[in-house]
Chains A and B, each alone.
Chain A
Amino acid sequence: MATVLFQTVAANRILTPSIMGFDALYVLMQTALVAGLGITGFALLPAGPKFLIEVTALVAASLMLFGTLLGRGGQDIVRTILTGVIFGILFRSLAGFLARLLDPNEYAVVQQASFASFSRVNAELLPWAAGLAGIGIAGAIRLAPRLDVLALGRRISVPLGLAHERMALLTLGLVAVLVSASTALVGPVGFFGLIVAGLAHGLTRDPRHAVLLPAAAMIAGVLLVGGQTLFERLLGLQSTLSVVVEFAGGMFFLWLLLKGRIR
């Protein structure tokens, strides 16, 4: 859902929040925590406050990151992508640098934390994450008709009387909340959003967000639960779900590009 929203603001079907360095920031945070506190310190961190702090930090950072999208005139998508990619690389290199300083045991902990896992979800955090996601989803669906106008782009939505800047910022805020809640709960899932957004657009063939958003939420649910089942029963919990999701996501991304579906 966050990806659908993000693509609406950016008026581009290939962008996902994760391309913009969002996941890299999460990994950096985990690495920094392990480096700062050591394995025991990291393991002893109380889950609730850690989750809240992670969400707050991710929301703040992403608003700053996405804010460049509205920096000057707001329509400079190339600048936004570049900024995001550069920040992503910066975060990744910083995380890599910190990882070099860690001893191998600590590094293993970081690696654990930086792959998405749907089996290791902390049950205590679930209500919090569900609450946040619920707020985000409800907000997005309430805004659905306005999102349709937003998707037309600034040059058409402003004359139609949409407060374009405010709406774009609001949408990005929702993206930040949704992405942060899920990332802090299960870890970065990379291309998952892209698969879902692509499927939602492809299956509904409807530009209305009132249809698109629930479709995206349902597709995401089905994919995750299905993938997890497949993964538990067939693959016997080998490797991680996010590896499967990212592999499939990468293939899907290539297919979209080659088929010219992305315009």
Chain B
Amino acid sequence: MIEIEAVSHRIGQVTILDHVGTRLPRGAMTALIGPNGAGKSTLLNLVARLLPLQEGRIAVEGLDVTRTPSRALALRMAVLGQDTAIGSRLRVRELVGFGRWPHHQGRPDPADAAAVLAALDAFGLTPLGARFLDELSGGQRQRAFVAMTFAQATDWLLLDEPLNNLDMAHARALMARLHSLVREEGKSVVLVVHEVNYAAAWADHIVALRDGRIVAEGPPAEVLTPAILCDIYGMEMAVTEHAGRPLVLHHI
């Protein structure tokens, strides 16, 4: 479980998060939704210790993120940020190999190599393993980074807009893959998504933010109602049902 208690964050005079408190359940897929600037990424970055915590408390499996050694956290949670520009010129397999770093600290053994191959295979990257990252399309690149977090083999996966740049087929495949990680391997996934229907179809728990506050949280059927969606995004939209899950008609 990730506990978030009374977390506030300010950049200059602007309040990004205002006394946010929630619990992200273990063994489930949690989706953070909300309009641009709602504070979704900031919240994720605070949990991931990428931003210094200004106010409040965050604990991952009981480990306080500000006090626990970074390596101990790296063995429990893998993070994929939104901006993945990197300085060195790496091949796909080398990048995915860095996912094993928390385990081997610079001395990879055969088990690490096997984990890297498994991660490449899981995301259909085996044929691209020897390519340089700057020779890939945006979507292939994105998959390579997801594969790196996957190779980290942690209980928690935090993904900030993992569907960026992915086409429909790969987006669905990624969501299905994450879903099976949750169902079959008992992992916990937290992700920021913009397309609410992905959250509707795959998530177990949704946290909706607006202007740095949590507006609603709960299972998709409770959160994705016309009233709440209108409150979050400021526009009217109809919600129907498909295969027992809500389907938001936001595009018409």
Q: A159-B48, A160-B98, A161-B102 are in contact. Are A152 and B70 (CB under 8 A)?
A: no
> What's the minimum C-beta distance from B104 to chain A, rounded to whole angstroms?
9
Judge if A131 is at the interface, Cβ distance under 8 Å. no
Known: A149-B98, A207-B94, A263-B134. A159 touches B71 (CB 8 A): no
B69 CB contacts on chain A under 8 angstroms: 161
Given A145-B106, A149-B98, A154-B50, the answer on whether A159 and B88 have CB atoms closer than 8 Å is: no
Residues of A within 8 A of B102 (CB): 160-161
- Complex: A161 Cα to B68 Cα, angstroms: 11
The interface residues of chain B lying within 8 Å CB-to-CB of A152 are: 86-88, 98
How many B residues have CB within 8 A of the partner chain? Answer: 35
**Residue interface bits A233-263, CB-to-B below 8 A is 1, else 0:** 0000000000000000000000000000001
Query: Can you name the residue of chain A whose Cβ is closest to the Cβ of B106?
Result: A145
B85 near A159: Cβ-Cβ < 8 Å: no
The reply to whether A155 and B106 contact each other, CB–CB distance below 8 Å, is: no
Q: Which residues of B contact A156 (CB under 8 A)?
A: 81, 84, 86, 98
User: Nearest chain-A residue to B76 (Cβ)?
Assistant: A161
Q: Say yes or no for B239: interface residue by CB 8 A criterion.
A: no
Q: Are A161 and B70 in contact (CB under 8 A)?
A: yes
Q: Are B50 and A161 in contact (CB under 8 A)?
A: no
Question: Is B83 an interface residue, CB under 8 A from the partner?
Answer: yes
> Hey, which chain A residues are within 8 Å of B75, CB to CB?
161
Please name the residue on chain B nearest to A154 by beta carbon. B50
Q: A144–B106 Cα gap in the complex (Å)?
A: 9
CB distance from A261 to the nearest CB of B (A): 10
> Does A214 touch B at the CB level, under 8 Å?
no
Do the beta carbons of A158 and B98 come within 8 Å of each other?
no
Query: Could you tell me if A153 and B85 are in contact, using CB atoms closer than 8 angstroms?
Result: yes
Tell me, yes or no, whether B89 is within 8 Å of chain A by CB: yes
Contact A151:B88 (CB < 8 A) given known A146-B106, A156-B81: yes
* Residue numbers in A under 8 Å from B88 (CB-CB): 8, 148, 151-152, 207
Measured between alpha carbons, how far is A87 from B242 in the docked complex, in Å?
Answer: 64
For the complex, is B4 an interface residue (Cβ under 8 Å from A)?
Answer: no
Q: Which of B48, B85, B94, B106 contacts A158 (CB 8 A)?
A: B48
**CB nearest to A8 among chain B residues:** B87
| Complex Cα spacing A156 to B78, Å | 10
Nearest Cβ distance between residue B132 and chain A, in whole angstroms? 10
Residue B163 is within 8 A (CB to CB) of chain A in the complex: no
Complex Cα distance, B70 from A148, in Å, reads: 17
B contact residues around A144 at 8 Å (CB):
106
Asked if B13 lies at the interface with its beta carbon under 8 angstroms from chain A, I say no
Closest A residue to B72 by CB, please name it: A161
Contact of A161 among B71, B80, B134 (CB under 8 A): B71
Within the complex, the shortest CB–CB distance from B107 to chain A, in Å, comes to 8
A153–B86 touching, CB < 8 Å: yes
- B105 contact set on A, CB distance < 8 A: 145
Chain A residue, CB-CB nearest to B90: A207
When chains A and B are docked, how far (Å) is the Cα of A154 from the Cα of B83?
A: 11
Residue of B nearest to A153 (CB): B86
Q: Determine whether the beta carbon of B87 is less than 8 Å from that of A161.
A: no
Q: Is the CB of B70 within 8 A of A158?
A: yes
Complex CA gap A148/B74 in Å reads 17
Interface residue A230 (Cβ < 8 Å from any Cβ of B): no
Is the C-beta of B79 less than 8 angstroms from some C-beta in chain A? Answer: yes
- Chain A residues in 8 Å Cβ range of B158: 159
Using Cβ atoms and an 8 Å threshold, which residues of chain B touch A13? 87
A7 to B87, CA, bound (A): 9
- B84 CB contacts on chain A under 8 angstroms: 155-156
**Is A19 interfacial (CB 8 A cutoff)?**
no
Choice from A153, A154, A159 contacting B74 with Cβ under 8 Å: A159
Residue positions of B touching A, CB distance < 8 A: 48-50, 69-75, 77-81, 83-90, 94, 98-99, 101-102, 105-107, 134, 149, 152, 158
> Can you list 20 A-B pairs with a CB-CB distance of less than 8 A?
A7-B87, A8-B87, A8-B88, A148-B98, A152-B88, A153-B85, A155-B50, A155-B83, A156-B84, A159-B78, A159-B80, A159-B81, A159-B158, A160-B74, A160-B102, A161-B70, A161-B71, A161-B74, A162-B70, A263-B134
5 closest A-B pairs by beta carbon, nearest first, are A145-B106, A161-B74, A11-B87, A159-B79, A161-B71
